[in-house]
Amino acid sequence: MGENPILYFDNAATTRLHPSVLQAMMPYLEDCFGNPSGVYGYARTAKKAVEAARRQVAAAINASPEEIVFTSGGTESDNWALKGVAERMRDRGRHIITTAIEHHAVKHTCEYLEKQGFEVTYLPVDSEGFVSPATLEKAIRPDTILVSIMLANNEVGTIQPIAEIGAITRSRGIYLHTDAVQAAGHIPVDVEALQVDLLTLSAHKFYGPKGIGALYIRKGVRLNPVLHGGAQESSKRAGTEYVAGIVGMGEAITLAVAEMPEESKRLTLLRDKLIKGIEDTIPFTYLNGPRENRLPGNVNFSFDFVEGESILLYLDTKGCYASTGSACSSGSLDPSHVLMALGIPHGLANGTLRFSMGRYTTESDVDALLALLPPMITRLLELSPLYEDYKASL
């Protein structure tokens, strides 16, 4: 891998296609354009490709192919898991448990369900973003129908103890959904070990194409469809399949799982180098999220007295791309709900940046970032009225 033309530190927002994924997809964007529902040769080729990809996705998470349904991405899978179970189970109970740090695809779906007459408990997290299984257990009620807790957080990288939580929900006979979008392809995901009933995947977070994802639905789990129409996906999810995307997703998850042992080691070293480099060279910095049980590619820092947006714009002029909190919340002035749930003070939260690394991030990218950041933050500190006030108060 040569020099990267840009310094891309936003892999949690999306990733670049793996070259082999593009290659695998190409035939289905060109000659093999048949509709998998057809009965002639072209169609059978497409159908076979979809089923091969389903086996690849299933194998990557230790599921059976019949338990994998392709969707348009993580957002649809999250919506489906929550709304599908809620609608199906509403006569048994109307209580759902989730956390205060979920992705908007879960958070906003829960808020919608509250308007539909469901009651949602938002579990607190500790200062590193961990949910306590004991707190979850106490929140369970006789009318609880679903627990939805993400496997790894997209902003601060915290990896939740889902296996422990799964043991609790399993023993209580309550469905457990996990949003594994940030985890899949980056850390091991095994639906049996985790004891989950529903699990969300999105291909573009592991070097696959955008607009394709999957929902794992454990055999026997009952949920209503949200898309009605044709009999595609065993009548669980209507709509003509995005064949090239499905093929790309199968290839991407297979490659990501194969590369994972090496990649996660490499990225963990880069992550810890970046964390140490920032802590050693920049004053008034606070690492958000844990140092252990953290996604290999995730670094998230609050810089006191400066605005995250200002740092971001500055970095942008140098061809360096990162993110303040989550992509969906940038552009708004409110600090992210995740940082608030971690108990980070408002002012500090506004000075927060996420650097997320991936398979194309090199050590020289990290060195380049570490050369850019300190002088930039020193300049912003000099311009900061908040820092002036602080110095005056000493």
List residues binding ligand PLP (CB under 6 A): 73-75, 78, 103, 105, 150, 154, 179, 181-182, 202, 204-205, 213
Distance between CA 318 and CA 303 in Å, rounded? 19
Cα–Cα distances (Å) from 229 to 66, 226, 240, in that order, read 20, 10, 10
Minimum distance of ligand PLP from residue 185's CB (angstroms): 12
Q: Give the CB-nearest residue to ligand PLP.
A: 74
Minimum distance of ligand PLP from residue 320's CB (angstroms): 21
Cα–Cα distances (Å) from 28 to 12, 46, 243, 249, in that order, read 27, 8, 7, 13
Known catalytic residues are 328
Which one-letter DSSP state was computed for residue 177?
E
Minimal CA–CA distance to 188: which of 163, 215, 154?
163
Considering the complex, state which of residue 128 and residue 137 has its C-beta at the smaller distance from ligand PLP: 128
In terms of phi and psi (left: phi > 0; alpha: psi -120 to 50; beta: otherwise), the region of 39 is alpha
- Cβ-count burial of 363 within 10 angstroms (0-12 exposed, 13-18 middle, 19+ buried)? exposed
Considering the complex, state which of residue 14 and residue 378 has its C-beta at the smaller distance from ligand PLP: 14
Minimum distance of ligand PLP from residue 79's CB (angstroms): 9
Considering the complex, state which of residue 17 and residue 380 has its C-beta at the smaller distance from ligand PLP: 17
Query: Measured on CA atoms in the order 20, 26, 28, 29, is the torsion positive or negative?
Result: positive
Considering the complex, state which of residue 328 and residue 370 has its C-beta at the smaller distance from ligand PLP: 328
Q: Identity (one letter) of the amino acid at 170?
A: R
DSSP letters along 212-224, please? -EEEEE-TT----
Minimum distance of ligand PLP from residue 182's CB (angstroms): 5
Minimum distance of ligand PLP from residue 351's CB (angstroms): 22
Considering the complex, state which of residue 71 and residue 302 has its C-beta at the smaller distance from ligand PLP: 71
